[in-house]
Chains A and B, each alone.
Chain A
Amino acid sequence: MKKLLAVLLSVVMVLSLAACGGSDDKKETKALAAIFEDIVNNKHDDSSLPFAADEGLPGLGGAKIEFVFGDQSTPEIALSEAERLITEEGVIGICGNFSSATTKTTMVAAEKYGIPVITEGTSMSLTDAGYEYYGRTLPGDDVFIDNTFAYLDYLNENKAADIKTVCLISEDSEFGANIAKVEAETAEKYGYEVVENIAYNKDATNVTSEVLRAKQADADVVMMSSYAADSLLFMQEFKTQGYFPKMLFGQRGGFMASDFALNLKNDSDYVLTTSRWNSDIDNDATREITKRFSDAMGVTLIGDTLIAGWDGIVLAAAANQAGSTDGDAIRAAMAEGVQIDPATDPFGLEGYKYKEKNGQNEFGTAIIVQYMDSQLATVYPEGSASAEVQYPAKGWSER
């Protein structure tokens, strides 16, 4: 039996060290993986997802796929687990890391054994490192943040938004620090003034000072990068201090997590965030996977979870196309372009062609979503938008 592996994102703690890369929970990723296993391994005539019509992967003589799970709470654990999964479980590829830090140690093992990895850590340091077996389907920080500022330009032009100043708030580990760096550069490029740049402590006991500073800076847009717990702490404190900027822009992470709307309810409204995918995207594959997932788990599927499983499907498709489970053959298929029928692709990407040089998929795109009535709605780009952006945001007292 052929195996596929997902080193999955977890909120498990190691000796109380939380290392949740993005926003996911183990259970959700596992549920999604089970759905994909079922679709690929069994015959589904009515399904619009990849490999549904066949049993197993046709290019590999009907081989079945299996997702095996590992722990990625810390970089050290990710390394150990990657080694275990490669040498003891015999996986053909690794997907599902969200944090760039754990991806870097996973790559140590993957490069040694020539096992392809497709994960979605956004840090530019991943594509700059010269890994041979690395792939990233969706964009890195540069594109996400470029999109963000392009969107501000778009609002200024089309909605007379009059946005001039930006306040950056980011957490101080690998995730936030890199985003802050790119944000500052991109803001300069687009001609926005950064009036405050706050790097706060990741395990902060309170964020009052941070919020007071942001309130005093009173920028048109507050851009944030935070993990789940911090983003909630910030929202609470924003409310306490009676401050909400005209636009609050998150960079995925905690702002995309299912915990966010679950805890905040309607207080999450007006928050924008860049995203990888959203459940309101208009195609059959999206509708099907969203429905299957909410039937299984009872919550709405979010982009960060979907891509963790989807990268596994891409790996399977690459192996199928190469007709081999050899790492080099799979990587070659990735470089050449993995053929996935657009009709079966919830992301609706133009293609899956991972650059030989740095592993970035040439066709990766990002979207911008906004919380409306505690649900995420796509607002940009115009082609996939399902709702009109709500701008400027109402202050707390007017809601």
Chain B
Amino acid sequence: MFLQVLYEGLTMGTIYALLAMGIALVWGVMNILSFSQGEFMMVAMYITFFINLATGWDPLAAMPIVIVTMFLFGILIYRTIIARALKGPVLSQRLVTFALGMVLTNGMILLAGGQTKSVPDKLISGTISLGSVAISKEKMVLVVTSIVVTGLLFWFMNRTKMGKAIRATSQDKEAAGLVGINTQTAYMIAFGISAAIAGAGGCAMTYSYYFMPNIGTNFMIFGFIAVCLGGFGSIGGAFIGGMIMGIIDLFTGTYLSVSYKYMAVSVIFLLIVTFKPKGLFGR
């Protein structure tokens, strides 16, 4: 039982982590608290669903398309909305993403209806039994996706020119501009990548989730908390924060009280920020 809970906690953690990394990237680079990240995930789920409906492709096969589409979608949103919002006050930026979330959710209701949807006949399904632990293959898809995405993200941010430019911009915008980095492009790519992360996450989540247009809202606050736990917009911190959240969620839920499990997450978060106001790994 203990091992099972631990495994499930880590699985759930990868979902929170995927969400949190997207939020952390936008937060770290352009200091926006993005309320629409959960909705991006929802949009990705529906894109996967529509691809499946039209061509019968499995979500895994559709994933590259979904990621690219979401990347472009992110850039579109950046160009039309975020770039303009960045000129305004911080609060407006946050509200813009909230309003965007509202538009996406209700737009999806208009487009696809409010009913629950799912992707049928998945390529990988079933359960592997390892002693007392039942490992669901559907959830493994999520875990693997999350690890691959995190790995790619780290490689991108640390090894590529664009990644370094984004990091430089997030540390000091003016200095980055002075050494010849086009900060606007860096912002745009960062926002696009954040949407692409949501794309990968949403696509993988269709493997083990049923979804409706408002699914993003339920996850949002936990994404934020995970980012805060990790500390000031750092991507690695967000990943670990997400993992911690997943484990707290499952262990309090299973061993203490189901009703109060989200309260446990919130209380632990409040305690941590009270005593370490910059998060666990804050600089």
Contacts and interface: CB of A to CB of B under 8 A. Distances in A.
A and B in contact, CB less than 8 Å: yes
Contact of B134 (A27, A199, A240): A240
B218 A203 contact: yes
A241 B134 contact: yes
Interface in A1-29: 10-13, 15-18, 20, 25-27
B109 interface: yes
B250 A209 contact: yes
Given A209-B254, A216-B1, A240-B139, A172 B114 contact: no
Contact of B253 (A18, A208, A232): A208
A57 to B, nearest CB: 34
B273 to A, nearest CB: 21
B118 A263 contact: yes
A294 interface: no
Given A25-B115, A205-B222, A213 B127 contact: no
A199 B258 contact: yes
A11 B259 contact: no
Nearest to B119: A263
A25 B127 contact: no
Interface in A278-311: none
A11 B116 CA distance: 10
Contacts of A233: 209-210
A242 interface: yes
A204 B114 contact: no
Interface string A183-205: 00000000000000011110111
Contact of B8 (A199, A212, A216, A242): A212
B210 A200 contact: no
Contact of B116 (A17, A27, A201, A263): A263
B106 A13 contact: yes
A12 B136 CA distance: 33
A54 interface: no
Contacts of B117: 263
A16 B214 contact: yes
Max chain B Cβ within 10 angstroms of own Cβ: one of A10, A25, A212, A233: A212
A232 B118 contact: yes
Contacts of B269: none
Contacts of A208: 8, 12, 250, 253-254
B105 interface: yes
Interface string A228-243: 1100110010001110
A205 B12 contact: yes
Contacts of A205: 12, 15, 218-219, 222, 249
Max chain A Cβ within 10 angstroms of own Cβ: one of B1, B116, B216, B253: B116
B4 interface: yes
Contact of A200 (B118, B217, B258): B258
Nearest to B101: A16
Max chain B Cβ within 10 angstroms of own Cβ: one of A17, A262, A263, A265: A263
A146 interface: no
A240 B212 contact: no
Interface in B65-114: 101-102, 105-106, 109, 113-114
Interface string B120-162: 1000000100000010101100000000000000000000000
B213 interface: yes
Contacts of A12: 109, 114
Nearest to B217: A16
Contacts of B250: 208-209
A216 B12 CA distance: 20
A13 B218 contact: no
A27 B115 CA distance: 11
A242 B116 contact: no
Contact of B115 (A203, A240, A241, A259): A259
B213 A13 contact: yes
B225 to A, nearest CB: 12
A25 B114 contact: yes
23 contacts: A13-B106, A16-B101, A16-B102, A16-B214, A16-B216, A18-B114, A18-B214, A205-B12, A205-B219, A206-B249, A208-B8, A209-B5, A209-B253, A209-B261, A212-B4, A212-B8, A229-B116, A232-B118, A233-B210, A240-B138, A240-B139, A240-B208, A242-B134
Interface of A: 10-13, 15-18, 20, 25-27, 172, 198-201, 203-206, 208-210, 212-213, 216, 228-229, 232-233, 236, 240-242, 259, 262-263, 265
Q: Which 5 A-B pairs have the closest CB atoms?
A: A209-B253, A11-B114, A232-B210, A240-B136, A16-B217
